Amino acid sequence: MTSLARWAAVARRELTAALRRPSYWLLLGILGLTAFGFSQGNVTISSGEATAGGLRSHVTSVAAQSMFQSVLITAMGVWFLAIGAGLVLIRDAELRVGEIIHGTRLTAREYVWGSFAGALAAFLVIWGLHLGLSAGFNHVLATGADTPHIGPFVPGNYLYPALLLGLPQIVFFAGVPLFLGAWTRRAIVVYAFPVAVVVAVLGFLISWSPSWLDPAINRALMLVDPSGFRWLNETFLKVDRGVDFYNTAPLPPDPGFLLSRVGLAGIGLLAVGAAARNTARRLLQGDTDSLVIGFRRGGGERARPAEAPKSQAAVGRTLRELGMRTVPPGFFAAAKAIGRIEVRELLVRPWLYLFVPLIVWQSVSASLFALGPFDAPLLVTSGAMAARQFNTLSLLVCVLLLFYTVESLMKERTQRLAEIYRAAPVGTGAMLLGKTVGNVVVAGVILGAALVASWAIITGRHLLGNPVGFDLWPFAAAWGGVMVPTFVFWTALVTAAFALFRNRYAVYGVGLAIVIYTVYRMTLAGFQVEGAALSWVTNWLAWNSMATWSDMGAFSLYGWALALNRLLYLSLVPLLLALAAMWFGRQEFDATRILHRLRPRALLRSGLRLLPFAVPPVFLASLLFFGGRAGDQGPDAEEAGKDYWRRNVATWTDFRMPSVSHVELDVELDPPARTASVSGAYTFVNHRDHAYPELPITARPSAPIAWTLDGEPHEPDDRAGLFVFTPERPLAPGDSLTVGYRYDLQHPRGLSARVGGRGEFILDSGVVLTGFSPTFVPVPGYLPGIGVDADNRYDRREYPDDFFEGETEPLFGWGGTPLTTKIRITVPEEYTANSVGRLVSDEVRDGRRTVVWESDHPVRLFNIIAGRYAVKEGRGTAIYYHPQHDYNVEEMSAALDAAREHYSEWFYPFPWELLKLSEFPAYAGLAQGFPTNITFSEGIGFLTKSDPRSHAAFTVVAHEAAHMWWGNILTPGRGPGGNILSEGMAHYATILLHQEVHGDRHRIEFTKRIEDSYGDARFVNSERPLVQTDGSRRGDGTVTYDKGGWVMWMLQQEMGRENLLAGLRAFIGAYQSGSDFPVIQDMLAVLREFAPDPEAFDAFTAQWFFDVVVPEYRLSGVTKERDGRGWVVRGTLENAGTGRATVEVAATANERWSDAGDAGSRTVVSPSYRDTRTSVVLDAGGSAEFELAADFDPDRVLVDPDVLVLQLRREAAVFDFPE
Amino acid sequence: MLEIRNLVKVYPGPVAALQGVSLEASRGMLGLLGPNGAGKTTLMRIVAGLLEPTSGAVFLNGEDVTGNPRRIRRQLGYLPQSFGFYPHLTGAAMLRFLLVLKGVEAPRGLKHLAAELLERVNLQDAAKRKVGTYSGGMRQRLGIAQALAGNPRIVVVDEPTAGLDPEERLRFYRLLAEMAEDRLVLLSTHIVEDIAVLCPRVAVLSGGQVLADTAPGDARARLEGTIYEGAVAKEGLAETERRFHVTQAVLIEGRNRVRVHAPDGRPPEGFEPVPPSLEDAYLLLIRNRAPKNGQPAPEAAPHAAS
C-alpha cells in the first residue's frame, strides 16, 4: 500500500465517521433553515427599498452570498469545524487505538494529514449541501412575482464567495484546532478556539469601526479578519453604493486581501503540519495515547511513570485493624464531595484561565462603548455595565458551560474511572447535582472576574475624576438574581441531554442549535421583526431582559414576569436532573429491557414518578403563558387593535376633526399599583365651514368609560374602540360642544408577555403619559396606526406635488387652532408631577400631593410625567432628575438656559413661563419635547458621557429644547418634508447653539458627526429629496435629522446667518397659531423673501431640497515646493459624488485648536496654526487643479476646513505631506 | 448470601455473553475461571450493578438487586478489569475522594485511613504524586486500595493481578485472603495460579456457561492417576495431540514437556504418572468441551453441591 493509499484510507475513515455524527446533520439542518430564511428576503444587504415593489438587493448576488457565507462560517461553522477536526486525535487517544494504528506502516504525517482531510471533507460536504439548498430555495422555491429579492441563477455567485471567503477560513478553522488537539490532547483547549474566534471576529473585528479609526489600522484589521467580512463591509457595504451595484458587481479582491486569504489557509495548513510533527515526536517517545500531557514546561518536565520504592512496612498488618465501616453518604454530602472535586479539577486546568480573560474582555469592552441617541457615548455606571454585559456574558458562559458540562460528564469515561465511580453507593442524582454545581462554579468564576474587571474600571475612572462610583447592587440583581439561574438551568439541561444521547457530538449539536436559535430569534426581535421575540415562557436566557435596565427602578416594568421566568427555569432543574438520573445509564441498559420500558404502562409509571418534579414548572409556565395572554401584550389586546382597524379604516381614515379648544383633565395616580383614575373633558369648536353630524373619538383603556356630552351622560356608538358621538344636532361651524369621560386605568395592564420597553407607563419608578396615546386619554379622531402589523400593512401614501396647498393637517397633535389646558394630577406625596404650562397650585393632604398645571400660552399637545425627583433650577428653566443622576445636570441646565435664551432670540420669543426637563426610567429610550415639559429617558443626557470636548449632554438638550420652537410653537404639517421642520430644524438649532456657546471647534465636530451618521445610514436607492421625505423609507431617519439639519446649515452660508434667521422668524410668525400647518415648501416660500440672491437661493433649494445630491471630494497629485521664502501647494480636486458646490481647499500647518478655551469657554484657534485657502466650484464628476501659496511649510491639505459643505467620506479628502 | 439465578446476557449483534448462569456463594473466596470471552467480566459487571442482564436475577440475602443496584453498591468493593483515575489528583486525594463516595468511615478519619490503605498497597511513597504519573502497576494497586476500602460485604475483583509484579501479587493475595475470611470475594481471572493460591472454590465459565463449580482440590482429585508427563520431540507433538488428550505442552530448555490425560492408564511411551494440577483440570475441561475423535469429553470437574 502506498503512502497516498494509506493517507486516503485514513481520510476516508474520518470522512465516514464524521458524516455519521448527528452534529453535522444538525448543522446542515440549521444551515438549511437559515438558507430558507435568507430566501425569504428577510436578511439581505441594506440597500434598495424595503417596501413592496421597490428596488431590492438580491439575496442571490455575489455581494449577498459573500456576506452570508463569510459570517455564517465564522458564527456557526467554526464550532463544528473545531469540534470535528480538533477532536480527531483526542478521540483516537481516548479510544486507545494509537498502539494499533501506529504499529502499522502508517506514518504520523499520513495519519494527521489524512485525518485532517477527512474532517475537512466532511465539512465541505455539508457546506456544499448548504449551498445547494440555498440555490434550491432561492431559484426553485422562492420564485414568482413576490420575490424581488431573487436575482438570476448564476452558479458563480455561490462559488466565488465560497472560494474567496469560505474556503480559507474553513481550512484555518479546521487546521488550528487540529493542532491544538494534537499538541495538548485536551478537548477543552480545542473548544477555546471557536470561543476566541467568535469573540474576536464577531465581537471586535467586524463590528468595531469608529469613524476616527486610522485607515492603515482599519486596513490591517481587514486583512487579519478570518471571516473576510470586514474587508467586504469596509470596501463595499458600509457606504451604500446602490442596489444595482450590489446586484451585479463582481466584488473583485485587491491583491493584499487575496494574499491575506491565501495566508489564512496557509496558517491552517501549517498548523496541520505542526500537528503531524508533534504526533511524530510523540511516537518517537513511545507516547501514542496519552491524554494527560498538558503543556510541557522546559521541553519535557513531564514526570515519567516511576515505580514507588518497595517497602515491607505494611506486611503483616491487617485491614481489620483500620476499623473501617461503610455508611452510604447522604445526597448532599455526596453532591458536595463531587462538586468539590469537579471544582478542584477545573481550577487546576490552565484552560479556564484562557477562557476567562477572553470572555471578560469581550463582555467588559463591549459594555464600555455603548452609544445613545445622536451617537453620544453613554456613561459607564454600575447599572449600565451590569445590564450591557448581560447578554454577552449569558451567551458566552452558556457556550462554555455546554463544553465544560459535557466534558465533565465524559471525564470518568475518558479517564476510565467510570466503572469504579458508578459502582460507588452514591445516588445518580447526587452525582449529577455535584457535577452541575461544579460546572456552575465555572460560571461563577467568570462572573466574578467580570465583576472585578467592572469594579476596577468604574473605580479607576472614578479616581481619575469620572463622576460615577461603583455600586454592587446592579451586579447582584442582574447577574446573581437573573443570570445565575440561566446557568443552573442550562447545565442541568445539558446534563439531561447528555444522559439521553450519551454522545458528546449529539449534545454539542443540540446545545449549539438551541443557543443559535434563541439568539437568532431575539436578534430578529431587536430589529423589530414582528413575532420574533421569545415569550417569557420560552426565553430561557432572559435575553434582553436587562436592555431596559433603569437605576430608577430596575425591575418595575416586568419584574413579576421576569421573576416567574427565572423561577420557571430554576424549577426545571430538579426535573431535568431527575430525567438525567433516569437516563444517565450508570447501569448499562439491556436492549431487550429498553423495549419493555417503552410499554405504555412502564412509561406511565415513569411519568408518575416524575410528576412531582413536573408540577412546579408546569404551574409556573401556565402562569406566565396565560398571564401574558391576558395582559396588554397578549393576543386579545392585539386582536382588539385589529378589530379597531378593521371596523374603521374604510370609514374614518380621512375624517378631519374640529378643533379642541380646551382640555380639562384630572388624573389620580397610584404608581405602585400601576393605576390611575382619569376624568376630563374636551371642548370641541368647529373651525371648519361644514357641520359635523358625528364626532369619532378613539379611547382604549381596559375599563369601561362613562361618557358625557355637554354634561349629560351619553352612550356613543362603540366601534371597537372608536367611539362615535352623534349630537342631537350637528355641530355647526363656529359652535362648540364638550365631551366628558371618566374611567379607571391600569398601564401596563396584566403580566408582561415578553421583553421590551414601553412608551408610556404608570410605575413605582416613574410615570410617563402622553396625549398621543388613547390608552391614557381619549384622542379625537381615528388613529391609522392602531392594529396594523405585517398582515395588514399597506404601502406608503403617495402625495401629489401640491399636497400642501390649502389647509394641511398637523404632523402631530390635534388639528385646528392651539388649545388651552388645565391638568390636575394627584400623586403620592413624595412624587413630583409635571405637565404642560405653569404650576398654579401644589397641595399635600393625607400623604397625597395634588398639583394643577395650566397652559399659560396655548399648546397643541400635553403630557404628564411624575417621579421622585431632585430639581435643578436655571434661568426660567428647571431640570427634574433622579437624585443619583446628577452627573450632567449642570451642563444640561446650562444648555437649557442657553437654548431658551438664544432660540428665543433667533426664532421666536419663548411664550411660556417655565421650560422643564424631566427624567424617566429607561423603559423607553426616547426624549419628547412637549410644550414646556420635555421628558428624557435616563439614558439620554442624564447618563450621557459628556466631557468638555464632546458636550454630548449639551447636544441632546439643545436638540430637544429646540422642539419648543420647531414642533410646538411651529407645528409642522403632515406630509413629506413635514418632520424635517421638526427634527432637521432641531439639529440646525443645535449646530447654531454649539457655535454660539462653544465656538467653531465644537460646531465643526457636531456637524462632522451628523455628516458621518448620514453617510453611514443613508440608502442610496430609497433616498428622496427633502421635500419628499416622509419617514416611510429606509434611511429617512438620517435624511430627516442629519441631512435636514445640514442643509439648513448650508442654507445659512447661502443666505447669510441674519437673513436666514429673520426669514425663520417670519415663517414661525406666519404659521404659529393658525390651523394650516406648514411643510418645507411653505418655509422656502417665506425664506425666499429674505434671500439676498433669489436666483442663487433657487439654485440651492433646487439641488438640496428638491433633488438628492451629495458631493464626494478627492484630492490627487498634491505637491508642495518652495517658492522663494514661501511654499506653493498644487493639486487636483475632484468631485466623485453628485451636486454642484463651492468648496474651500486649505493648506495648513500645526494643530488648529488650542486646548485652552477663551473666557466664555469657547474654543479658540491655536497660535501656531496657519492656513491658506482657495475656493473651487465643482459640478458632479468635475475636477479642477488648485494652487495655494503659503508663507509657512504646510503639513496637510484638506477640503472644506470649516465643514460648510455636506459630503461623503470627508476623511478621504485629506492629504498629509510625509514628514 | 449471593445467589445468581439463570443469568442471560445478550449483546446487540447478537452475542450471547451469558447463557443461563446460576451460582450461589455466601462467604469466602469464589474464583471465576475462564478463557477470554467466557463471560466473566459480563458476570462481574452484572453483579456489581453496572450492567443490566437480559434475563435472570441476582439476589443478595434473598433480595433481588438486579433492578435496584443501589442495594448491592452499598455493600460492594469493586475492582474492574480496566480502569483509570483523575490524572490531576494525587494518589491520596484520589483515594480520599473515592472513600467519600463509598461512604467509608474510620476512627482516625479519612486522611489517615487513605494513608493506611496506600501503605497496605505499598503506595505510601507515591501518595502525593499525581495519578497521571503512576505506572500501570501503581494504578492497579491504587485500584486495589479503593476496592478493599470500607467494610464491603462483597468484594468483586476482575483480573486483579494483571500488571502486578510477583512481589505485589503476593501482597495482594494476602490482603484478599484476609478480606475473604468474613465476607464473599468474587475473583475473576484467567490465571489459574490465582485460583490455586486463593480459592477454596472455583467456577469455570466458558461460552457463557458454567462448566464446573467445584473445589480445586476436588478437581485435582478426580484426575488422580490419570495425568502423565513426558518429553516429546517437536515433530512428534502433533501426533501425540492427535492421539491423546494433551493438557499442557510447554517448552522447557528447548524440549516439549507434555502432560496428557490418560484415564485408561495407557499413556504414550516413556510418559510417567504425575500429580494432577488445577491447570490440568481447567485446560482439560476447556479444551474438551466438544467430543474429540469420537471420545466423550472427560468429566473432569462436575458441579459441586453447595
Number of domains, chain B: 2
Do A482 and A413 have their domain in common?
yes
pLDDT of residue A146: 66
ipTM of the complex: 0.85
A879 domain-assigned:
no
DSSP sequence for A364-379: HHHHHT-B-GGGPBBP
A588 with B116: Cβ contact below 8 A? no
Residue pLDDT, tens place only, A1069-1124:
999 888 899 999 999 999 999 999 999 999 999 999 999 999 999 999 999 999 88
**CB-side neighbour CA atoms (13 Å) of A241:** 16
Do A466 and A533 have their domain in common?
yes
- Cα distance between residue A534 and residue A753, in whole Å: 9
Answer whether A826's CB lies under 8 Å from A669's CB.
Answer: yes
C-alpha cell at A248: 451585479
Could you tell me the strand order of the sheet in which B255-261 lies? B245-252, B255-261, B227-232, B272-273
A420 with B119: Cβ contact below 8 A? no
CATH number of the domain residue A1061 falls in: 1.10.390.10
Surface of A (386-425) touching B: CB under 8 A: 411, 415-417, 419-425
B151 with A588: Cβ contact below 8 A? no
Answer whether A171's CB lies under 8 Å from A226's CB.
Answer: no
Surface of A (703-742) touching B: CB under 8 A: none
Q: What is the 3-state secondary structure (H, E, C) of A1035-1089?
A: CHHHHHHHHHHHHHHHHHHHHCHHHHHHHHHHHHHHHCCCCCCCCHHHHHHHHHC
Question: Which one of B48, B106, B132 has the shortest CB-CB distance to A322?
Answer: B106
Q: Where are the alpha helices (DSSP H) in B199-287?
A: 216-222, 237-243, 278-287
Of A630, A662, A687, which marks where a domain is finished? A630
A-chain CB neighbours of B133 within 8 Å are 303-306
Q: What is the CA radius of gyration of chain A?
A: 35
Residue A594, chain B, CB below 8 Å: the answer is: no
CATH number of the domain residue B150 falls in: 3.40.50.300
Residue pLDDT, tens place only, A606-639:
889 899 999 999 999 999 999 999 888 888 888 9
Do A1043 and A1145 have their domain in common?
no
A-chain CB neighbours of B44 within 8 Å are none
A1005 domain-assigned:
yes
Distance (Å) from the C-alpha of residue B197 to the closest C-alpha of chain A? Answer: 18
Question: Which one of B10, B70, B138 has the shortest CB-CB distance to A307?
Answer: B138
A-chain CB neighbours of B105 within 8 Å are 324-327
A341 with B143: Cβ contact below 8 A? no
Answer whether A893's CB lies under 8 Å from A879's CB.
Answer: yes
Do A1090 and A1134 have their domain in common?
no
Residue B273's alpha-carbon distances to A827, B222, B269, in angstroms, are 115, 14, 11
Of A249, A269, A284, which marks where a domain is finished? A284
B72 domain-assigned:
yes
Question: Is residue A490 helix, strand or coil?
Answer: helix
B86 with A417: Cβ contact below 8 A? yes
B120 with A291: Cβ contact below 8 A? no
Question: Which one of B86, B103, B178 has the shortest CB-CB distance to A425?
Answer: B103
Written as one letter, the residue type at A37 is G
Handedness of CA B262, B268, B269, B270 (dihedral sign): negative
- Which of B206, B42, B159, B73 shows the shortest CA–CA distance to A590? B42
B113 with A322: Cβ contact below 8 A? yes
Question: Which one of A333, A417, A423 has the shortest CB-CB distance to B50?
Answer: A423
Distance (Å) from the C-alpha of residue A349 to the closest C-alpha of chain B? Answer: 9
- Cα distance between residue A1087 and residue A1097, in whole Å: 9
B-chain CB neighbours of A334 within 8 Å are 100-101
Mean pLDDT of chain B: 86
- Partners of A1135 in beta bridges: A1113
pLDDT of residue B53: 93
**Strands A848-854, A820-828: pairing kind:** antiparallel
**Strands A659-670, A820-828: pairing kind:** parallel
Do B167 and B240 have their domain in common?
no
* Sites in chain A below the pLDDT cut of 50: 50-52, 291-305, 308, 311-316
Which one of A590, A593, A595, A605 makes the best mutation probe of the B interface by having the most chain B beta carbons within 10 Å? A590
A308 with B52: Cβ contact below 8 A? no
Name the CA dihedral angle for B131, B136, B140, B143, rounded to a multiple of 10 degrees: 30
A1029 domain-assigned:
yes
Chain centroid to CA A425:
51
Answer whether A658's CB lies under 8 Å from A687's CB.
Answer: yes
Do B195 and B84 have their domain in common?
yes
Distance (Å) from the C-alpha of residue A65 to the closest C-alpha of chain B? Answer: 47
B206 domain-assigned:
yes
A-chain CB neighbours of B76 within 8 Å are 423, 425
Given pLDDT bands bounded at 50, 70 and 90, which one contains residue B295? very low
Do B195 and B96 have their domain in common?
yes
B163 domain-assigned:
yes
pLDDT of residue A703: 83
Of A1042, A1074, A1108, which marks where a domain is finished? A1108
A326 with B119: Cβ contact below 8 A? no
Q: Check residues B177 and A315 and name the one with the higher pLDDT.
A: B177
Long-range contacts of A207-215 (CB under 8 A, 24+ apart): A209/A233, A209/A234, A209/A238, A211/A1009, A211/A1012, A211/A1211, A215/A1211
A338 with B101: Cβ contact below 8 A? yes
A700 domain-assigned:
no
B295 domain-assigned:
no
- Per the listing, cell 449577498 goes with A64
Do B237 and B186 have their domain in common?
no
Residue A325, chain B, CB below 8 Å: the answer is: yes
Do A343 and A266 have their domain in common?
no
- Cα distance between residue B200 and residue B218, in whole Å: 10
Residue contacts between A and B (CB atoms, under 8 Å): 173
* Phi-psi label, residue B123: left if phi above 0, alpha if psi -120 to 50, beta otherwise: alpha
Do B236 and B206 have their domain in common?
no
Residue A286, chain B, CB below 8 Å: the answer is: no
A-chain CB neighbours of B121 within 8 Å are 314
Tally Cβ neighbours within 10 Å of residue B44: 24
A1059 domain-assigned:
yes
Question: Is residue A148 helix, strand or coil?
Answer: coil
Do A1087 and A1131 have their domain in common?
no
- Per the listing, cell 485536551 goes with A186
B51 with A588: Cβ contact below 8 A? yes
Do B43 and B147 have their domain in common?
yes
- Cα distance between residue B46 and residue B58, in whole Å: 8
- Cα distance between residue A397 and residue A359, in whole Å: 8
- Which of A1078, A1056, A1059, A1057 shows the shortest CA–CA distance to A1067? A1078
A902 domain-assigned:
no
- Residue range(s) defining the domain that contains residue B189: 2-215
Answer whether A991's CB lies under 8 Å from A902's CB.
Answer: no
Residues whose CB is less than 8 angstroms from the CB of residue A55 and which lie 6 or more positions away in sequence, other chains included: A48, A49, A148, A243, A1021, A1022
Do B37 and B156 have their domain in common?
yes
Q: What is the chain B residue with the closest CA to A590?
A: B52
Do A1074 and A1124 have their domain in common?
no
pLDDT of residue B269: 87
- Cα distance between residue A697 and residue A712, in whole Å: 17
Do A66 and A212 have their domain in common?
yes
A952 domain-assigned:
no
B294 domain-assigned:
no
A232 domain-assigned:
yes
- Residue range(s) defining the domain that contains residue A514: 331-630
Name the packing angle between helices A952-962 and A983-998 (round to 10°): 130
Do A1039 and A1165 have their domain in common?
no
Answer whether A935's CB lies under 8 Å from A355's CB.
Answer: no
A325 with B105: Cβ contact below 8 A? yes
Do B122 and B246 have their domain in common?
no
Do B102 and B240 have their domain in common?
no
A-chain CB neighbours of B75 within 8 Å are 326
- Which of A1171, A1037, A1192 shows the shortest CA–CA distance to A1125? A1192
- Which of A166, A162, A155, A135 shows the shortest CA–CA distance to A59? A135
Question: Is residue A126 helix, strand or coil?
Answer: helix
Do A44 and A182 have their domain in common?
yes
B-chain CB neighbours of A309 within 8 Å are 125
Number of domains, chain A: 4
Do B265 and B161 have their domain in common?
no
Do A1093 and A1124 have their domain in common?
no
Do A1188 and A1102 have their domain in common?
no
Residue pLDDT, tens place only, A299-330:
333 444 455 455 444 444 677 788 888 888 88
Which one of A414, A583, A592, A593 makes the best mutation probe of the B interface by having the most chain B beta carbons within 10 Å? A592
Q: Where are the alpha helices (DSSP H) in B2-54?
A: 40-47
- Per the listing, cell 484546532 goes with A177
Q: What is the chain B residue with the closest CA to A431?
A: B101
Residue A326, chain B, CB below 8 Å: the answer is: yes
Do B275 and B249 have their domain in common?
yes
B73 with A314: Cβ contact below 8 A? no
Do B268 and B175 have their domain in common?
no
E-assigned strand segments in A1153-1205:
1153-1157, 1163-1165, 1170-1178, 1183-1190, 1196-1199
B296 domain-assigned:
no
- Which of B1, B61, B51 shows the shortest CA–CA distance to B26? B1
Q: What is the chain A residue with the closest CA to B124?
A: A308
